[in-house]
Amino acid sequence: MPRQQRLCSGWLIGRWVSKSRSTSDQISFAFLKSWSIVKPVTAPRFIFLILVSFSTVISAWGDTLDEIRTRGVLLWGGDAEGGAPYTFPDPQNPNRLIGFEVEIAEELASRLGVQQKMVQTPWSTLPQALLRGDFDIILNGLEVTPERQQRVLFTRPYYQFQEALMIRKESQDIDGLEDLVGRRVGTLSGALAQQILEQFPGIDTVLYDDNVSPYRDLALGRLDGVLMDFPIAHYYGEKVPGLKYAGETYGEGQYAIAVRPDDHRLLDTLNALLMEMEGDGSLSRILRRWGLEGDSDVQFQGETSSVLTYLPLLGQAALMTIFLSVVSMLLAVALGLLLCLGRVYGPRPISLLFLAYIELFRGTPLLLQLLVIYFGLPSLGLAFPAWLAGIVGLTLNYAAYEAEIFRGALSSVPGGQMEAALALGLSRRMSIRHVILPQALRVSIPASTNDFIALFKDSSLCSVIGVVELTKQFNILAISTWRVMELGLLTGLLYLMMSYPLSVAARRWERRLARGRRY
Partner 1 sequence: MIKVENLSKAFGPVQVLQKVTFRVKPGETIVLLGPSGSGKSTLLRCLNGLESFDSGKIRVADLELEPASFHQKGRDALLRSLRVRVGMVFQSFNLFPHLDVLSNITLAPIRVLGESSQRAEEKALALLERVNLRGKERAYPESLSGGEQQRVAIARALAMNPEVMLFDEPTSALDPELVGEVLSVISDLAEEGYTLLIVTHQMHFARRTANRVLFLDSGRILEEAVPAEFFSRPATQRARDFLKDLINAGGSHPDSSEIARA
Rule CB under 8 A: which residues touch partner 1?
A: 414, 416-417, 419-428, 430, 434-435, 438-439, 442, 516-519
In whole angstroms, how close is the CB of 443 to partner 1 at the nearest point? 10
In whole angstroms, how close is the CB of 511 to partner 1 at the nearest point? 16
Asked if residue 446 has a cis previous peptide bond (ω within 30° of 0), the answer is: no
Looking at the DSSP assignment, which residues form a beta bridge with residue 90?
Answer: 93
Cβ neighbours for 355, distance < 8 A, ≥ 6 positions apart: 343
In whole angstroms, how close is the CB of 417 to partner 1 at the nearest point? 6
Strand order in the sheet with 243-259: 5-7, 204-208, 184-188, 225-229, 153-168, 243-259, 137-138, 73-78, 115-120
Give 420 or 489: the residue with its C-beta nearer to partner 1: 420
Please give the C-alpha separations between residue 184 and each of 3, 5, 204, 252, 419, in angstroms, as whole numbers: 12, 10, 5, 22, 68
In whole angstroms, how close is the CB of 406 to partner 1 at the nearest point? 16
In whole angstroms, how close is the CB of 497 to partner 1 at the nearest point? 33
Give 60 or 519: the residue with its C-beta nearer to partner 1: 519
Residue 510 backbone phi and psi in degrees, to 5: -60, -45
Give 292 or 413: the residue with its C-beta nearer to partner 1: 413
Give 303 or 348: the residue with its C-beta nearer to partner 1: 348
> Exposure pattern of 229-258 as b/e (b: 16+ CB <10 Å)?
bbbbbbbbbbebeebeebeebbeebbbbbb
Given a contact cutoff of 8 angstroms between Cβ atoms, the answer to whether 255 and 213 are in contact is no
Give 198 or 419: the residue with its C-beta nearer to partner 1: 419
Give 169 or 434: the residue with its C-beta nearer to partner 1: 434
CA 108, 112, 117, 119 torsion: positive or negative? negative
Cβ neighbours for 188, distance < 8 A, ≥ 6 positions apart: 194, 207, 208, 209, 210, 211, 214, 228, 229, 232
In whole angstroms, how close is the CB of 438 to partner 1 at the nearest point? 5
CA 43, 125, 453, 351 torsion: positive or negative? positive
The C-alpha atoms of residue 37 and residue 34 are separated, in whole angstroms, by: 6
Give 308 or 430: the residue with its C-beta nearer to partner 1: 430
Rg (CA), the chain: 26
In whole angstroms, how close is the CB of 513 to partner 1 at the nearest point? 12
Give 222 or 433: the residue with its C-beta nearer to partner 1: 433
In whole angstroms, how close is the CB of 404 to partner 1 at the nearest point? 22
